[in-house]
Structures are given as C-alpha cells and as structure tokens.
Amino acid sequence: MTDLLVGIDVGTTRVKAVATDLALTVLGEHAVPTPWRHSGSHADADPAALAAAAVEAAGGAAQAAGGRALAVGVTGMSETGVLLDGHGTPLAPALAWHDPRGDCAAVAAELGEDAFRRATGRTLTPVPSLPTLLWLRRNVPAARAAVRYLSVPEWTVHAMGGDQVNELSLVSRTGLFDIAAKQPWAAGLAMLDATPDLLGQIVGAGEPVGRVHDEAPPALRGAVLTVAGHDHQTAAYALGAARAGALLDSLGTAEALLRTIPAPLAAAAVEALADAGVTTGWGVVPGHLCLLAALPTGISLERLGAMVGAPTPAERIELGRRALSADRSATQTRVTAGFHGLTLHDVDDEATPEVVWAVAVEDISAAGAAMLAAMSAVAGPHTEVLVTGGWLHNPMVRAVKTRQFGAFTTRELAEPGALGAAELAGVAAGVVAPRWEPDRPDQAPR
C-alpha cells in the first residue's frame, strides 16, 4: 500500500484532514463538522467527540487515498483545551476559544493586566486559556482535580496514542507560558493552584511523540504522531511564509497578519506588541517567534453584504467592483468592526451600498496597518508579502491590499493548515526534510 502522510486541522468550523504521498501530493481528503454544543453565545464540546471527529477525518482521508499512514500530524485552534486527571481522562468540557466565559476580572485583580501582557504576549480577554480555566474551576467542580492541560491538537494526539505534551506555538497562546523566559508562567499557574507540571513536556512542532494506537482505523495504526502547532503558523509553514522577512496576510473569515522572526525578544517588546493588538508566541520553526494580528475582515464583509443585499460571493464581488469607483469623500460614514459585530457610524444619504463597502474595506485595513506598524517597530520592516485567501478575489479588497503593500505575491493551497500538518508529520517520521535545515531554508511548497 502507498505510504501516506496525514495532516489533521481541528478548526473552528470543520475538522479537516488530507492524506499525501511522501512528496506531499494530496491523494485524499475528508472533513467533518466540529462537534460544538451551542447555547446562545456559549459553545463547548465533549473532548471525546473532538478526538473522534479528528480520527474520522483522518481515517476518511487515508481511505480516499487508498494507502496506509506512515505519520500523522495534528494542528488546530490553540486556546481551546482539555483538563485531564491522572489517568488521562477529561474532567470538563472544552470551551470554544470564542466562548465569552472567562474570569478576566480575577486575573486583572491578582496579576494585573500589564503583567499579563508582558509575560504572555496577549491582551487580557476571555480568549487565552487562563481566564477560561479559572471559570471552569469555579463552575465545574471536577475541573479542580486536573493534573494536566492540553490544547485541542495536543489532546487529539494523546487520544490517538501519543504522549501528553505541550507544543511551543500552542502553549504560547494559553496565558500559561512566559514568552520571553520560554517557560511556564508560575504566576498564572498559581492562580489555578497548579505547578508547571500542569503542562506536559514542552516540544517543538514536528517532533515525534508516540504512535497511533490499535483502536484507530487500520489505515492509521502504528503511524508516528506529532503535534504540528498552531493552525495559522502551520498554514504559513506550508505556504513557505514561516521565515524571517516574510509577511503572510491570510484573508479568510478572520484575516491573519503573521510574521516569523528570530528570537529573542525582550519582555518590554512583547508587552508593547500586546498593547497594539499583536500577539507574540513561539513559532513552529525552531528558534523563532511568531507575531500575529487578527482582524475580523471576512466575517465583517459577510455581515455587511447580507445587510446591503449582497449575501452571496458573486454578489459581493460585483459590489466590490462597483466600490472601486465609489467616492468616499462624499460621505461621513465610517466603520468599526469586531469579531462579534460590525458598527456603522454617521450613516448619511451618500452611504450607498458600494460606498459603505469601500469604507468598510478601507477602515478594517487601516486597523491592520496600525498593527503592522507595531510589528515593524519591533522586528524591522518586512521584505516580502504573501497574500492568500478567498477574499483576495473581491476587487475592492484586492485594490486596498495593492495600495497597502504595493507588490505582493499570491499563493493558494487547498487546506494549507492540514497540508502543513502532513508535512510536519513527514518531518517527525524522518521522511521529509524540515524547511529550517541549511540546505532548504527558503524552499517553496512542493
């Protein structure tokens, strides 16, 4: 049978998997919905259901490819995680990263927001794992007995037979890790009445951490397992943009602006970036950090399209074409956008759909420009830009990106996160050379 590399991306909407040959040519893919349980703004999942979905996606991809997995890598969302007892059994539901349940007030009162930003490279919101874990300890009594915390990709690897480990790019986003010191953050863990042992062995993306157990589908059994890191970074790796000097602008439902820079970075610089809305964490490339800014670009334009009578991609493309000739100076309307909503200010008679579309694209882009300026102030200017994602097909979005960056390259890969996970699985199995080796520092995707 064909030897396969399987990459799994446990995403917010879908759990996706691809199966490739050893040259990273995709031979099969499969996806299933992420098994959230929704109640209003709350969303959580049974950890067992998340792991089962990942196995189903991986098994389906391997079956479609008609081969047997040599290695399996798992990437995905980072801040959603699982609390385990001493037997590796989950003790509480896995709250979605976007779930608002989190005790930020307790963190601010005990540790201070400045200290949180300086240590963790994050602003204090319910998104990092620490506030969520505090909420779980207060509201789910069983959670107080936890001896280990794993993010969803790490939990998936463990549930498939791997060791209990924390990968650097994932643990960097939890609020439990001191970025500048590159070690567990004792003050944050103390709020959980925990020691650094709450985290497992710290590993890098692409390190082998066990093998798939015999209860998995036959095509996966015995495959080398690896944690392939945070989904945005793993996608950047697959796209060839996880290297110094490169800026990746990924235009999806959320827009991600990502730079990979050599370590180290002083704690004061980490704090300054967090003040500007830029997170700092360790990268999937050894010895490098990742600077990441997230913008609600795609989700905001979808909301706006529905509001002005352009709910389909084709209608939004036409609206974007008309927006190219819109005169913004004729209106006082402006737009502010967040992941939970879009606000139009000072709507006047000149605010036609195409004018509002132009204003929205420009105003959201301006917020991103401020974040990029903060990155450049710390890391120096970027030397190349790669733009990818479906929103680049919208004429107004493309025009604003051209205005913002000047020359840029584009590259499209189907499921780059899962493909990056497959490539790092090959690294773990020793059949794919890592991109950070001296003989292939800038190699483009295969």
Please indicate, yes or no, whether residues 253 and 203 belong to a single structural domain of this protein.
no
Scan for tokens 């990818």, then name that residue. Answer: 388
Please indicate, yes or no, whether residues 418 and 407 belong to a single structural domain of this protein.
no
Token pair recorded at residue 311: 């709910």
311-339 average pLDDT score: 95
- Number of domains the chain contains: 2
Question: 179-223 pLDDT, tens per residue?
Answer: 999 999 999 999 999 999 999 999 999 999 999 999 999 999 999
> Is 439's pLDDT higher than 70?
no
Q: Are strands 14-20 and 201-203 parallel, antiparallel or unpaired?
A: unpaired
Please indicate, yes or no, whether residues 81 and 164 belong to a single structural domain of this protein.
yes
Question: Under DSSP, is residue 413 helix (H, G, I), strand (E, B) or coil?
Answer: coil
> Is 441's pLDDT higher than 60?
no
Q: How confident is the model at residue 363 (pLDDT cuts 50, 70, 90)?
A: very high
Tell me, yes or no, whether 436 lies in a domain.
no
Please indicate, yes or no, whether residues 261 and 354 belong to a single structural domain of this protein.
yes
Tell me, yes or no, whether 437 lies in a domain.
no
Please indicate, yes or no, whether residues 23 and 44 belong to a single structural domain of this protein.
yes
Tell me, yes or no, whether 434 lies in a domain.
no
114-131 average pLDDT score: 96
Please indicate, yes or no, whether residues 276 and 386 belong to a single structural domain of this protein.
yes
Q: What percentage of the chain has pLDDT greater than the value 70?
A: 98
Could you tell me where the beta strands, DSSP code E, fall in 334-419?
334-338, 341-345, 384-388, 409-410
381/393 Cα distance (integer angstroms): 26
What CATH number has the domain bearing residue 108? Answer: 3.30.420.40
Q: What phi-psi label fits residue 48: left (phi over 0), alpha (psi between -120 and 50 degrees) or beta?
A: alpha
Scan for tokens 């000739």, then name that residue. Answer: 325
Q: What percentage of the chain has pLDDT greater than the value 90?
A: 93
Tell me, yes or no, whether 125 lies in a domain.
yes
Please indicate, yes or no, whether residues 257 and 171 belong to a single structural domain of this protein.
no
Token pair recorded at residue 171: 């643990």
Q: How confident is the model at residue 253 (pLDDT cuts 50, 70, 90)?
A: confident
Which backbone phi and psi does 280 adopt, to 5 degrees? -120, 135
123-133 average pLDDT score: 96
Cα 401 to Cα 280, 304, 344, 392, distances in angstroms:
24, 19, 22, 8
249-261 average pLDDT score: 92
> Is 442's pLDDT higher than 60?
no
103-123 average pLDDT score: 97
271/118 Cα distance (integer angstroms): 4
Q: Are 271 and 265 in contact (CB under 8 A)?
A: no
> Is 139's pLDDT higher than 50?
yes
Tell me, yes or no, whether 442 lies in a domain.
no
Please indicate, yes or no, whether residues 258 and 397 belong to a single structural domain of this protein.
yes
Q: Taking all residues of the chain, what is their mean pLDDT, rounded to a whole number?
A: 95
Tell me, yes or no, whether 257 lies in a domain.
yes
> Is 445's pLDDT higher than 70?
no
Q: How confident is the model at residue 341 (pLDDT cuts 50, 70, 90)?
A: confident
pLDDT of residue 438: 59
202/281 Cα distance (integer angstroms): 14
pLDDT of residue 41: 87
Please indicate, yes or no, whether residues 91 and 71 belong to a single structural domain of this protein.
yes
pLDDT of residue 383: 95
pLDDT of residue 14: 94
In terms of C-beta density within 10 A (0-12 exposed, 13-18 middle, 19 or more buried), how is residue 85 classed? middle
35-63 average pLDDT score: 97
Q: How confident is the model at residue 443 (pLDDT cuts 50, 70, 90)?
A: very low
Tell me, yes or no, whether 333 lies in a domain.
yes
Domain carrying residue 112: 2-234+414-429
Tell me, yes or no, whether 306 lies in a domain.
yes
Please indicate, yes or no, whether residues 79 and 161 belong to a single structural domain of this protein.
yes
Please indicate, yes or no, whether residues 176 and 139 belong to a single structural domain of this protein.
yes
Please indicate, yes or no, whether residues 310 and 361 belong to a single structural domain of this protein.
yes
